[in-house]
Structure 1
Amino acid sequence: MHEITVSDMDSGQRIDRLLAEQLDDTSRSDMQGRIRDGLVKVNGGTIKPNYKVKKGDVVTVEVRELVEADIIPEDLDLEIIHEDAEVAVVNKPKGMVVHPAAGHPSGTLVNGLMHQLDNLSGINGELRPGIVHRIDKDTSGLLMVAKDDVTHRHLVEQLVEKSVTRKYTALVHGTIPHDKGTIEAPIGRNPKERQEMAVVDDGKEAVTHFNVLERYKDFTLVECILDTGRTHQIRVHMKYIGYPLAGDPKYGPRKTLETEGQMLHAGTLGFIHPKTGEYLEFTAPLPDQFEDVLETMTPLSD
């Protein structure tokens, strides 16, 4: 447990900012989480994250105890694109679930990471150690993996601040006439089908930019760049503008390509390293199955 007595110089500061500055290996979001969970007290009482400290306040900060996740490590031969002491980048194959859940207790990305990496973060002891963000089972591509809780929170902050670079390649039905566009439409649970997401008035902000890479007969290859990361965002947004993803059984047309899931690949991932402050960017080529489908397509002449 840490204990701090507020000085005259620090009086008037927000407590989450003060603690993030004064304590090592933490961040404002980490402190906000501990404050909400009652692990931070001022003069023996609980406070809110926006509490402004006063001279003489005695602040105590407890360390969060994490529960070990009951996940069996498995040798799944994952492709680790990058690894250092704080963070790793993994190239998830199509068809692999990210974390264990009902119906998928094993064979997940997390099971493989538990085997291949020495350490993984465990925010609140949750059953998704190391996973900062996720992609759908049938989407392939790059994911950030945090090796400790401080790194995890820093990466989450970058996602919240929309400073993470996330570029996807998608094959969609139809021929998009314009070369680029931006879709700004809120996404939430589909009131008519609870297993699906949809553009709804009371949904969360969602922004997708896209650029046309290649036009084919009846299909278009696009690059999608995310400002936000809502569940099924690209799949929902492209359907919303009339160009659903090829092979998508949930949001695409009934007559689509036989591809065992949507044609979507998270090919570029960039972020600021939480410890060094260096911007890192990684790319992963389209998987063979994606390339094989493109080779069957007939490009439209300019």
Structure 2
Amino acid sequence: MKPEIIFENEFFVAVHKPSGLLSIPDRMGKEQSLKDILIEKYQQIYTVHRLDKDTSGVIVFAKDEDTHRQLSLMFEERRVKKIYNGLIYGVPVHQSGTVDVPIIPHPGKAGIMTTGKKGKPAITDYVVVEQLGKYAWMQFEIHTGRTHQIRVHMKYIGHSIVCDALYGDAQPLLLSSIKRNFKISKTAEEERPLLNRLALHASELSFEWQDQDIHLAAPLPKDLRATLQQLRKWV
């Protein structure tokens, strides 16, 4: 799980975070996080926003307190364009749409979010990029930054993210489920999943910094590329 630096200057660093790596230390502090890795490299680093542990993609950290304040305010004021891609179960009725539904912590389950009138505003635009049998490859733009926002909103419209252990079906995606007459290799004891992590990727971040347009992009990881290739081949 080696993170890759996409871009850096004297003010901030943008990193391609792999799936399975925490963005920042959790309360237990037992797992290494991306922030821990960056602190080893830069000594000081400041959290601007975060990605879920199992979400891959582009994330930005500030190198000083002033940059941290400026970037945090830009996120808060919705002056940062945030684009994600993800694989969902099923195909939405409409090829594009907006989910404008408040999100609130679940009253009975710690660490879980849900929709509710008393929640904070949350807006997600979605577009169906490609229909792949009983799945759809999606593009999302989020205009707010609520915890688990895309995952909660996709569950709300009945199309949860593939391999979402909290809001959908945690079962891995297997080639045997999409390929007819699938036969496991004689040398393999069990089938290796095509995908066994949350199928969500933070693809792009765009904002203006000191009169310069900054566009940061993280290419799709190998596991998501391979999954799409197999779906296109067999569905």
TM-score (ref. length: structure 1) = 0.67
Which letter maps to 1:102? R
Q: Percent identity among equivalent residues? A: 34
* Residue 64 of structure 2 corresponds to residue 163 of structure 1: no
Distance change in 2, residues 1:118/1:103 (3 Å): closer
Q: Which residue of 2 aligns with 1:49?
A: none
Q: Which residue of 2 aligns with 1:84?
A: 9
Give the 3-state SS of the residue equivalent to 2:231 in structure 1. Answer: coil
What is the 5 A alignment of 1:147-296? Answer: 147-253=63-169, 257=173, 259-273=195-209, 276-296=210-230
8 Å contact 2:172–2:197 — kept in the other structure? no
Deviation at 1:296, TM superposition (A): 1.9
1:25-82 CA-partner distances (Å, limit 9, x unpaired): xxxxxxxxxxxxxxxxxxxxxxxxxxxxxxxxxxxxxxxxxxxxxxxxxxx8531111
Which letter maps to 1:112? I
* Residue 34 of structure 2 corresponds to residue 109 of structure 1: yes
* Residue 31 of structure 2 corresponds to residue 95 of structure 1: no
- CA–CA distance in 2 between the matches of 1:243 and 1:210? 12
Q: 1:138 aligns with which of 54, 64, 87?
A: 54
Q: Which runs of 5+ in 1 are unaligned?
A: 1-75, 121-129
Deviation at 1:299, TM superposition (A): 7.2
Deviation at 1:286, TM superposition (A): 0.5
8 Å contact 2:6–2:14 — kept in the other structure? yes
Deviation at 1:284, TM superposition (A): 1.0
TM-score (ref. length: structure 2) = 0.85
- CA–CA distance in 2 between the matches of 1:216 and 1:278? 38
Higher strand share: 2
- CA–CA distance in 1 between the matches of 2:115 and 2:81? 23
Greater shift in the superposed pair: 111-120 or 285-294: 111-120
* Pairwise CA RMSD: 1.9
- CA–CA distance in 2 between the matches of 1:300 and 1:292? 12
1:82-118 CA-partner distances (Å, limit 9, x unpaired): 1111111111011001112234434210111012235
Q: Which residue of 2 aligns with 1:24?
A: none
8 Å contact 1:245–1:252 — kept in the other structure? yes
1:199-254 CA-partner distances (Å, limit 9, x unpaired): 01110000000111100111001000010000000000000001000010110135
Which letter maps to 1:93? P
What is the 5 A alignment of 1:13-92? Answer: 77-92=2-17
Give the 3-state SS of the residue equivalent to 1:136 in structure 2. Answer: coil
- CA–CA distance in 1 between the matches of 2:48 and 2:72? 6
Aligned length: 215
Return the structure number with greater relative CO, CA threshold 8 A, min gap 6: 2
8 Å contact 1:78–1:113 — kept in the other structure? no
- CA–CA distance in 2 between the matches of 1:233 and 1:176? 18
Q: Which runs of 5+ in 2 are unaligned?
A: 174-192
8 Å contact 2:163–2:170 — kept in the other structure? no
Which letter maps to 1:244? S
Give the 3-state SS of the residue equivalent to 1:169 in structure 2. Answer: strand
Which letter maps to 1:135? L
